[in-house]
A and B are shown apart, each in its own frame.
Chain A
Amino acid sequence: MTTTKELWENALVELELTISKPNFNTWFKDTHVVRVEDGVVYLGVPSQFARDWLSTKFHKDILRSLRGLSDSVRSVEYVISRGVKKTDEPKTVPSAPSELPLENVHAKTNLNPRFTLQTFIVGPFNELAHAAAQAVIRKPGIAYNPLLIYGPTGLGKTHLIQSIGNHFRINAPDRKVQYVTSEKFSMDYVSSIQSGKIQSFKEKYRQYDLLIMDDVQFLAKMEKTKEEFFHLFNYLHDGNKQLVFSSDQHPNVIQNLEDRLKSRFSAGMIVSVTPPDHESRLAIVRSKASAHGVVLPDEVLEYLATAVEGNVRELEGALNLLLIQLEIRTEPLTINDAKTLLRGASNMTRKSVSVQEVVKTIAGFYGVEEGSIYEKTRRKEVVRPRQVIMFLLREDFKISFPTIGEKLGGRDHTTVIHSCEKIRTNIQTDSVLSQELQQIRLMLK
């Protein structure tokens, strides 16, 4: 049994052969089947012109081809259907003045209604971002514009920015919200160029009262999209429209991002979400488990929170692993079961990285020659990277002080201890340094 849509498409193919091309293009362009009832096919047509003409001129042809395709068709009715597509290109763009607050037809926001602030777990690692999001919801366009939330993957950035959109939609149902990933934005832009509809692309994005864009760091590599984004940003920001972004890095360290964009991001509020601490992880695991309606022994939850560090998404994955097991087995889950199950997911066993590799990565990050790290030189631009290398080798890879010293050009272990101490204390005060470290850790993963 073919669907009604296929039925009409097949009929169109037949009709196209019997009717001249200009006629076909003019009269059959925007037709579609609205519904089929008791053998009557209701054809949706764009206007009364088309209805009158199809029913007088082409009725027989249409009926014949539909009957040929399906025996159940008895007759055809023509209805003028709602929402006719218009293809006219707009000519001018009125700009700058703000729009009249006319009520809008509810636009597709692209938001996932599942993400709200009620389901967002707040801990010390994300409370600033959470507070900023709340402020934006209360005073969109005024409080922090733009709001940029950055942090490593899987820490709830998307959840947070989508909940801003969802709450905004509830508070002001007549305003337009759009959630878009930077990739979708870029694809939209490219296809608008291809089809020569750049103007409607611009208008589409400029109508929003709240624009939420996920993963803006990807824009950095796309020259033209970045430029378009820059103009869009200015337009919306000037109109006091709220902008919300997420990124996996602080904009200042995103490579290939122009200063003008960096400074614009900085104009509002830039907050980070960091990996949750142990207590928060425990709270997250608890709440996720109870959301699934299961009770796990405390020690299992405790183990889960300890074993799976960092990423909330990984944490959720690990939890799901346990939940599936719970469903198929009869006896309760013990801590040992959890340990065996989670062997793969746990990142307690950190992968081993060779010292050379770490040195190479970090030297590359700071733009110093790899060789100079091993040398005796005390030039400033080499000293800092060298200290960072020592610090990371000790902290993240648990290599002993003497080994580190030996590997890095035969230094004394006290030198290494001093370096680690120095970096450790500097992190507390030097925000640039701590960002750099975050970056490097990401690169080493």
Chain B
Amino acid sequence: MKFETSTEQLFTATTIASRFAEKRANLPVLQSVLLVAEGGRLSLRATNLECGVEIIVPAKVTTEGVVAIPAGVLSGFLSNARGKVVSGVLEGEVFKIEAERAAASMKTIPHEDFPLLPRVSAEKAFTVKSSDLSRAIRNVAYCASTSAVKPELQSVLLQGEGGKLLVAATDSFRLAEKSISLRSGGSVPQLLLPARNAAELMRILDTTNGDVEVYYNENQISTHVDNTYYTSRLIDGTFPNYHQIIPKTFLTEAVVLREDLSASLKSLSVFADKFSQVSLAIDPVKKTILLSSRNPDVGEQTSSLRATIVGEETTMSFNGRYLADSLQAITGESVRLHANGAGKPMLIKDAVDESFFYLAMPMNR
């Protein structure tokens, strides 16, 4: 095996691939990035058996060949490599790599055990704008559960209907849903993408601007973005039917500036108790929302926000962190809060953008 390629491209590809390599794998080969040099290109593969990636880098291949190199070692060398061109050659079990004024020999891992990346046939597919999907995942993925008790909640839901792709996640204490437009693909059944793998997909989607085509079958999802092939397993399960629990009518509706709310939640968090409890008192007469938090060991704080309010006066308690989380997904200037009084969930939306909502459950005390 002998090849020459661009230092920068190989470095970028290695950085992406090494995120898929597992550091403490049962199978040593899973700690590695697999380099396959053939026919004028170099392909890099890595997988943790949950999700996997293959990146194609153009290269001048003198001798074809395959090698598995520990991901950390390869990316460590490349991150400090200078010069436009890097060349690699496999001599026996040692991989020699040379950049400008630096050369290294790396121990390799037998590559025969490196698994195949599952391929998904293109029969079932949908197309969306890459930046839309990436943003949608970013807007909801933090809501996914981290507990293994209900695997279906450790996921990001993708479901397409009527020209829209719904992207949602919940840990049963809060729920976020973002809808984006489908370029093609009509109806997409429930696909439960593991939340951890969704984060990797998001990073890959961020590298491109155009449309992205996503293929799926019952167990696996995959996509091509430029020179990158991504694949992940899907969680087998049924996402809870959340549409029925979203309140349709509200007693109180308030509009506040996002920045204001975000800043006061941040400062209130200093005084929040271990459950991050923040109480909201919405007062339609004074046109204010009074936020307060209290921790017997620290002290207490109140903070008042000017707001446009329609409906009844009400006081509710929420986990402040959950409220703050919702704001990172909202980009507009103002936020709408829809409430139904104490003990009822509150719906949070962008004042103008209808494509996103966030439902937070109240706290009991």
Select one of A49, A91, A239 contacting B115, CB under 8 A: A49
Interface residues of B in 212-246 (CB under 8 A from A): 218-220, 233, 236, 238, 240-242, 245
> Does the CB pair B362–A52 fall under 8 Å?
no
Within the complex, the shortest CB–CB distance from A352 to chain B, in Å, comes to 57
B12 within 8 A of A: no
Select one of B116, B148, B151, B322 contacting A56, CB under 8 A: B116
Knowing A48-B220, A52-B115, A105-B238 touch, does A96 contact B149 (C-beta < 8 A)? no
Q: Given the complex of chains A and B, what is the CA–CA distance between A284 and B175 in angstroms?
A: 52
Q: Given the complex of chains A and B, what is the CA–CA distance between A82 and B172 in angstroms?
A: 23
Q: Given the complex of chains A and B, what is the CA–CA distance between A238 and B154 in angstroms?
A: 26
Which residues of chain B come closer than 8 Å to A99, judged between CB atoms? 172-173, 361
Contact with A along B21-37 (1 / 0, CB 8 A): 00001111010000000
Within the complex, the shortest CB–CB distance from A215 to chain B, in Å, comes to 26
> Does the CB pair B49–A97 fall under 8 Å?
no
Dominant SS at the A interface? loop
A95 within 8 A of B: yes
Within the complex, the shortest CB–CB distance from A307 to chain B, in Å, comes to 52
Which residues of chain B come closer than 8 Å to A97, judged between CB atoms? 173, 275, 318-319, 322, 360-364
Contact with B along A250-272 (1 / 0, CB 8 A): 00000000000000000000000
B105 within 8 A of A: no
Q: Given the complex of chains A and B, what is the CA–CA distance between A92 and B321 in angstroms?
A: 13
A207 within 8 A of B: yes
A357 within 8 A of B: no
Q: Given the complex of chains A and B, what is the CA–CA distance between A88 and B151 in angstroms?
A: 10
Interface residues of A in 94-147 (CB under 8 A from B): 94-105
Interface residues of B in 136-152 (CB under 8 A from A): 146-149, 151
Measured CB to CB, the nearest residue on chain B to A89 is B148
Measured CB to CB, the nearest residue on chain B to A53 is B115
Knowing A83-B236, A97-B319 touch, does A92 contact B218 (C-beta < 8 A)? no
Of the listed residues A96, A98, A103, A240, the one surrounded by the most CB atoms of chain B closer than 10 A to its CB is: A96
Which residues of chain A come closer than 8 Å to B363, judged between CB atoms? 96-98
> Does the CB pair A90–B275 fall under 8 Å?
no
> Does the CB pair A87–B148 fall under 8 Å?
yes
Q: Given the complex of chains A and B, what is the CA–CA distance between A26 and B236 in angstroms?
A: 20
> Does the CB pair A49–B240 fall under 8 Å?
no
How many residues of A sit at the interface, in one of the four size bands? 35 or more
> Does the CB pair B175–A100 fall under 8 Å?
yes
Measured CB to CB, the nearest residue on chain B to A55 is B116
Which residues of chain B come closer than 8 Å to A105, judged between CB atoms? 238
A23 within 8 A of B: yes
Select one of A80, A90, A207 contacting B146, CB under 8 A: A90
Select one of B146, B220, B245 contacting A91, CB under 8 A: B146
Q: Given the complex of chains A and B, what is the CA–CA distance between A305 and B170 in angstroms?
A: 58
List the count of A-B residue pairs having beta carbons below 8 Å apart: 116
Within the complex, the shortest CB–CB distance from A290 to chain B, in Å, comes to 45
Of the listed residues B25, B116, B148, B322, the one surrounded by the most CB atoms of chain A closer than 10 A to its CB is: B148
Q: Given the complex of chains A and B, what is the CA–CA distance between A200 and B174 in angstroms?
A: 20
Which residues of chain A come closer than 8 Å to B118, judged between CB atoms? 47-49, 51-52
> Does the CB pair B245–A102 fall under 8 Å?
yes
> Does the CB pair B170–A102 fall under 8 Å?
yes
A204 within 8 A of B: yes
Q: Given the complex of chains A and B, what is the CA–CA distance between A206 and B66 in angstroms?
A: 51
Which residues of chain A come closer than 8 Å to B236, judged between CB atoms? 80, 82-84
Knowing A47-B49, A96-B277 touch, does A23 contact B113 (C-beta < 8 A)? yes
Which residues of chain A come closer than 8 Å to B241, judged between CB atoms? 102-103
A293 within 8 A of B: no
A171 within 8 A of B: no
Within the complex, the shortest CB–CB distance from B120 to chain A, in Å, comes to 8
Within the complex, the shortest CB–CB distance from B145 to chain A, in Å, comes to 8
Q: Given the complex of chains A and B, what is the CA–CA distance between A52 and B173 in angstroms?
A: 37
B160 within 8 A of A: no
> Does the CB pair B240–A102 fall under 8 Å?
yes
Interface residues of B in 43-71 (CB under 8 A from A): 47, 49-50, 52
> Does the CB pair A98–B364 fall under 8 Å?
yes
Which residues of chain B come closer than 8 Å to A203, judged between CB atoms? 147, 149
Within the complex, the shortest CB–CB distance from B348 to chain A, in Å, comes to 14
Select one of B47, B149, B172, B218 contacting A80, CB under 8 A: B218
Known: A80-B218, A95-B275. 10 other contacts (CB 8 A): A25-B26, A47-B118, A49-B233, A52-B115, A88-B148, A96-B363, A97-B319, A97-B364, A98-B363, A238-B365
Residues of A within 8 A of B (CB): 22-23, 25-26, 47-53, 56, 80, 82-84, 86-105, 200, 203-204, 207, 238-240
Give the 5 A-B residue pairs with the shortest CB-CB distance, closest first: A102-B240, A90-B147, A48-B118, A96-B275, A26-B27
